[in-house]
Each structure stands twice: as structure tokens, then as C-alpha cells.
Chains A and B, each alone.
Chain A
């Protein structure tokens, strides 16, 4: 693992940039545990102070230190992204693999559900759900909800991959080795599908974090929890731009850009590396 990171750092510029960005994100994530301020308390520092050595990202109109507040925001946004990704990956893998390999009525059944999810107008539904569940809404619940909506494209992708794998000769070899369909799926097909799973995991996280921002800006998430989205919501509420407190908007935007770029470059770089074809070329196949 360390060797892989070293190789990638040495030979892949995308990975180097991603590494720096993600280290910065990770650093802020960890710092949140050492924050001198509770993010829920207000008026603990002077209001509307511009960025300075003392207040790195400045302070906001609610008397909070934006830098320390953002450390919580990053932590919460990332955790929510991970919750969404994990839930939707599990669904996508199960649906994609079983529909692809078993085929027949199971495939038809699963894909009809899948396609229904694809054609659903997602944003209005999420707004409606956000409104209905506003009393119990928190970031965890939002992550779970997004997880249940975030799988269908990727399930289809995995299914199509498995469909072509099923026609490969080695699948027939496995069948005639007496291997049952569950093991064929896990041992023969999953290794080919994992790169897709990995690539889509990061995509999915980005999607979830972005969705949270959208919903938060609309005021439909748990506004008491710091997140990249709620940062923007509060800045908007206080008319930050009109008041000239541009750093209140700039800080979450900057953090979001670093997070998104970092994750994206990380994903493309790793994706190349774990591509089975690259693996084969590396070992000289």
C-alpha cells in the first residue's frame, strides 16, 4: 500500500496534486477535534473580521471563527458523503451483479426498479422529503436518503460490465468447474467490477456533498449542523455579500473546490492504476 502511494506520488502529477489537497482536507478534518470553539455557540469572537493571522478565514456576522467552523463543516460533509457512498455502493453492487449474472426475470425485475429510480425527478423529491422530514432531519438521515437514491446509474454500469463478463470464456470454465453462481460472481466478476465501484464511490460522494449544498442553501437540511452547505446558507441569511463579508462565502467555496478537485484527481489517478489492463501491463501480461 505504501509502495503504491510512493509510486503514484513519484510518477503521476494528478496524484501529487490530489495528495496535497486531500492532505489539507484531512488536516482540517483532524483539527476539528481540537477546536477552541464550539461551532454551536455564537458571538464568541468579534463579528465580521476579515481574514487575518489571528482569524485565518475571518469571522462571520454571528461572531464565529470561520476557519474553526469550517473544520467541522468538512468533517460533517465528508462523513455524510461516505454514508451515502457506502449505502448506494452496497445496493449498486448487489443489484448490478445479480441482475447481470442471473439474468432472466430477476434482471427484468431489478432493472425495472432501477430505471424507475433513474427517471424519478430527484431534486423535487428530495425537496419534498426535506420538507416532510424537517423535524427529524439531520446529516446522517440525509446521507441515508441520498444513499437510497444514488445507486441506479452505477448499478446499470455494473450490470452491463457483468453482462459482458458473463459471455467471456472464463465464466464458462468456472461453470464447468462446478462453481455456483454466487461464487462466480464474487470470484470471477467482482475483481473486474471493483475499479468501477471505486470510481463511482468517489463520484457518488461528490454528488452527495453537492446535493447537501443544494438542499442546505434552500434551507432544507439540519441547519444547526455545520457543513459546507449550511455555511453557505447562513452566509446568505445574513446577506454576507451585500454586507461585504465576502470571506464568509469564499471560505466554504474554497474548501469545496479543494475537496472536489482533490477527490476528483484522486479518483482519476487511482482509477488508471487499478484498471485491470494497467495491472496486466505492469506485470508484463
Chain B
């Protein structure tokens, strides 16, 4: 398959941050040799799931071109994001890749009316020649999220609920008719009764608008509900990825297993198993600095080799697992 068939192609991306002073500082690898891709002609929802400090937010900044990788490449429609230099090129990129942010109360300026952002987007990306035509474009986008211009026009963010604001945020992202929407924890700050509405919206975008979505979350339950494929992140690595029905229903990697088990089930029947006691990780920096598998310190099935060398990516059935437990299933050589 040639690179141009990919909408987004992330190739062995690594992001390193230097923490501490000029002398004696240490290197923090926030994203470590991550690869994944989305196909051009098959819109899907791809979830990047992980806990805080797993590198998922760094990865999202990378995909929005807020950050450049230390090593590796991010290709969007075959073009390396690092080669985007001119403002016109960046604008062309933004037209196709749009973000939806986590905090609906911060997404829009409290001193500006929310519809101003919708009109700005329509006019700046040339979706409409003038304000009057833009109103139609804005109306269409709002209809897609179950709102109307009448409801949001001349309103300030605090006059709308968190759910409404988040829907306006999605509508804004839709105006330029993007091919990819990057949603970073879009429902974590939205009230429970409004949450599923937003989540359902992303499904509709994929099915009706043919937009691919990268859904970044720590919430495995909504991830299962909407996504097609998932990548589980741990301390900068994607440790397991594949179709959600495989990865979340029958997890292979011990970390994915632990994560899945820890999600409290919204029914009292699982109380006993959930209450089984678990080992918690030590401090964050310790796990980042660990040699070999980052999960080795907490893994119930740890082996000697896990503490020595990073595990290889192993293809098992339809999924990829980064774990020595599965190396005999595939004839891939361990690196190094």
C-alpha cells in the first residue's frame, strides 16, 4: 500500500522532553516509537486510551502540529507535517484537521459570543464569501449537532450548558468540512446526562459525514461504545492496539487487562471482583525511567527479560501487543 492511501500515517514517532536544568537534567520520553495509521477511504473512530502521563495528550499535540517529533514522521495525506512552514499551508492543513477540546467552558472566550467563532471559521476557510452566506454554512453545521443558529446566536458561553457548548465546539470543527477530527477527552467535563449525546455525535460524524475521528480518552467504556480500533498507551508506548472488540473484550496485554478490570462496572453485581486489591504504580518518573517494559514493576506475569529489553511489537491475530508473553506466537525478532 502506498503512503497516499493513508489519511494519517504516524511513523515511529518519538517525542523527548528534557526536564530539569541544563546540567544534570534527565530525558523524558513522552511518546516512544509510536506508529499507527488511518485509511483515506474508510472513515473510522480510532481511540487512543491511556491514563494521565501515558503520552496521549503529547501525541495529540503532535498530530495538531503544535509540537514536532524528536524522531519519526507524521504524514497527513502523504505530506510530512514537519514540512509545513508557510501560513497558507498550515491553513490548508487546519481546514482538513480540526480539534475538539476537553473543557467546553474554556473552549470559547467568556467575553465573546460563541457564534462569532463559527462565523470566523466559515469565513477564514473560504467556506462562504460573505457573512450572509456564512450564516447558512453555520446553520448547517449546527444542525448536524442538533442545534440551530437561533439557539446559539448572540449567546455567551456561560449562557449555554456544558453539553451545548461542547456541541457548538463540534459544530465549529465541522464547518471547514475536515477529514479528521481530533477530540481530546471531549466528554470528560460534560455532565453525565449530556455526555452520551456528544459521544453519539462522533458516531454520526463517521457514518454520515464520513469524517475520521481520533478519540483521545481515559474512559474505556465510551471508547468501546464508539470506536472501531483502539490503541492502549502506557508511558509513551502503544502497548496494545487493534479492533476494540478484540482489545477491550479479550485483552492480551497484562496492562490492558488491569485497566479493563479497574473500570468500575455501572452495576452492583461486579462489586466483589472489583474490590480485589491491586498494586498501584510508584511515582510517574520512576516508570518512565524504567528499562525494559514500563509495566514490569506492576505486572503479575513479569519475567526476567521484561526488566532488561523493551518488548517487541507482536502481531497476534488482528491486533498488535507489545509483550514478551506473546513472542512465541509470531516469528518477529526482538530488537537490538
Chain A interface residues (CB < 8 Å from chain B)? 168-170, 172-180, 183, 187-188, 191-192, 276, 279-280, 283-285
Given contacts A177-B121, A179-B124, A276-B111, contact A169 B103 (CB under 8 A): yes
B154 close to chain A: CB less than 8 A: no
Q: A173-B108, A180-B124 are in contact. List 15 more A-B contacts (CB 8 A).
A: A169-B106, A173-B117, A174-B109, A176-B173, A177-B117, A177-B120, A177-B121, A178-B121, A178-B124, A180-B87, A183-B120, A188-B112, A192-B111, A276-B110, A285-B156
- Other-chain contact of A178, B94, B109, B158 (Cβ < 8 Å): B94
B99 touches A188 (CB 8 A): no
Interface residues on B, range: 20 to 34
The residue that B108 contacts in the complex, of A170, A178, A280, with Cβ under 8 A, is: A170
Complex Cα distance, B165 from A131, in Å, reads: 61
Decide if B99 touches A172 in the complex (CB within 8 Å): yes
Report the minimal beta-carbon distance from A121 to chain B, rounded to whole angstroms: 34
- Contacting residues of chain B (116-132) with chain A, CB-CB under 8 angstroms: 116-117, 120-121, 124-125
How far, in angstroms, from A187 to B112 measured CA to CA in the complex?
Answer: 8
Distance in Å: Cβ of A85 to nearest Cβ of chain B:
24
Interface of A is mostly: helix
**Interface status of B107 (Cβ within 8 A of chain A):** yes
Do residues B156 and A178 form an inter-chain contact, with CB atoms below 8 A? no
Closest to A276 in B: B111
Q: Is the CB of A177 within 8 A of B124?
A: yes
* Residues of chain A within 8 A of B156, CB atoms compared: 283, 285
A to B CB contacts below 8 Å, 17 in the list: A170-B112, A172-B101, A173-B101, A173-B108, A173-B169, A174-B109, A174-B117, A174-B120, A176-B64, A176-B94, A178-B91, A178-B94, A179-B124, A180-B124, A191-B112, A192-B111, A276-B110
Contact status A178-B95, CB under 8 Å: yes
Asked if B167 is at the interface of the complex by the 8 Å CB criterion, the answer is no
Q: How far is the CB of B211 from chain A (nearest CB, A)?
A: 15
Q: Is B172 an interface residue (CB 8 A)?
A: yes
Given known contacts A178-B120, A283-B156, is B172 in contact with A173 (CB within 8 Å)?
A: yes
